[in-house]
Structure 1
């Protein structure tokens, strides 16, 4: 992949070497046209369990794509993160159509609540939505997920409240507010523990903020890392290289 973007093995990546060489500052400033390609709802989405070769626990995590896709993309996000919203609107729809729906990539959404006071509660809302719909209507989670990013306001995090997320949940087709509230009350501690596990793994990669991505070939153990709201072309190049590793 050249001196600035090489594929590494899992252990080397976790030791902090061999990342895909896309500069963090550039990543956060990079923007396409500024237009939105719309929310992404995957053709296939499913619950899973176990731990991947990279050390990602799958139970309770939203997963898009086919279970036997050769490459995993682990996506650490925060619903309060404006750069995550940029990725969601400008890049994810293309990655989804061209790689996830095509059967090449399995996308695993992980929590890394680092932006504001409501980052962790927002992550709990998302996990509980997934837990209540994953078995019967997983697409409902992705509709909720897109609506949560749509709710972001341009300045500050004052919009992120229980009332906001309650309204998003109530308005999302296929999601039961009562079921999600029950999950938050009865399983909140366990869900927060799973979020802590995700955050600890993110820090070990290491990531300092969101969004952060690891692209992992489950057969060859090859991996690469992307930081920030990169344009689609960078993701396509990185995925293609890890696919071929």
Structure 2
């Protein structure tokens, strides 16, 4: 077995473990938190009441984050590029949230890789980070999700991932491929995946808005309501 084949087999195993964790009931770590917050919105966003409220990294210059580092509300997005609902969020909801809240300094969005749909999910996460290294993370994600089907998991072989890099305006394609293949890039993806698994992320997309979970591509009003409550609590 060649090195590339062995790596892809290993990634498939890791993805299978993550998927098994999702199916296996780790959801209880998030769902009870969500239910308790429904009855006590005034508590949203307070770290002393919500252990997930401290998950924001607020890393200066993070190319995989949108919005001010000191924004009062941080939405962490655990996603898989091959998830059709993640693509729907990118296409239909993210632009409005950026316009309403990111551009006005209220919201910061931080991406987390949570690849659960096989080796190609890991490959695409690595490609996203390679795009981020050239300041084109969000453009790359937009290209991938714009081309995604309405349902099902798209096939994303390497040649398609490299083609998307050109569409996203990435100038140095050889560097993009080198960064994609860098073991450190895979390590960063795996670290995000491990974080999500420890938290019990039950599905993709899954969001923590100042620690308060929103699961799936919910209607825009659900995001607005949660962000507004978190904004009020953060004052």
TM-score (norm 2): 0.74
CA RMSD of aligned residues (A): 2.5
Higher helix share: 2
Alignment partner of 1:54 is 2:55:
yes
In the superposition, relative to structure 1, how do residues 99 and 154 fare at CA in structure 2: closer, same or farther (>3 Å)?
closer
Q: Does 1:200 align with 2:177?
A: no
Aligned length: 195
8 Å contact from structure 1 (residues 14, 206) kept in 2: no
Say if 1:101 and 1:158 are closer, same or farther in 2 by CA, change over 3 A.
closer
**Equivalent in 102, 124, 145 of residue 149 of structure 1:** 145
1:3 aligns with 2:61: no
1:226 is paired with a residue whose SS is strand
**Aligned pair partner of 1:225 in 213, 219, 227:** 213
Note if contact 1:63-1:106 (Cα within 8 Å) is conserved in structure 2: yes
- 1:44-193 alignment runs, 5 A limit: 53-54=54-55, 56=57, 58=59, 62-133=64-135, 140-154=136-150, 156-157=152-153, 159-185=155-181, 187=182, 189-193=183-187
The structure showing larger relative contact order (alpha-carbon pairs under 8 Å, at least 6 residues apart) is 2
Cα pair 2:79 2:86 within 8 Å, conserved: yes
Q: Give the gaps of 5 or more residues in structure 2.
A: 1-36
Secondary structure of 2:148's aligned partner? coil
Q: Choose which of 204, 207, 222 in structure 2 pairs with 1:234.
A: 222
Question: 1:102–1:57: structure 2 CA closer, same or farther, 3 Å change rule?
Answer: closer
Compared CA separation, residues 159 and 192, structure 1 to 2 (3 A): same
List alignment gaps of at least 5 residues for structure 1. Answer: 16-51, 134-139, 217-222
Any conservation in 2 of the 1:90–1:231 contact (CA below 8 Å)? no
Tell me the TM-score normalized by structure 1. Answer: 0.71
Q: How far off its partner does 1:147 sit?
A: 0.5
Q: In 2, are the aligned partners of 1:116 and 1:157 still within 8 Å (CA)?
A: no
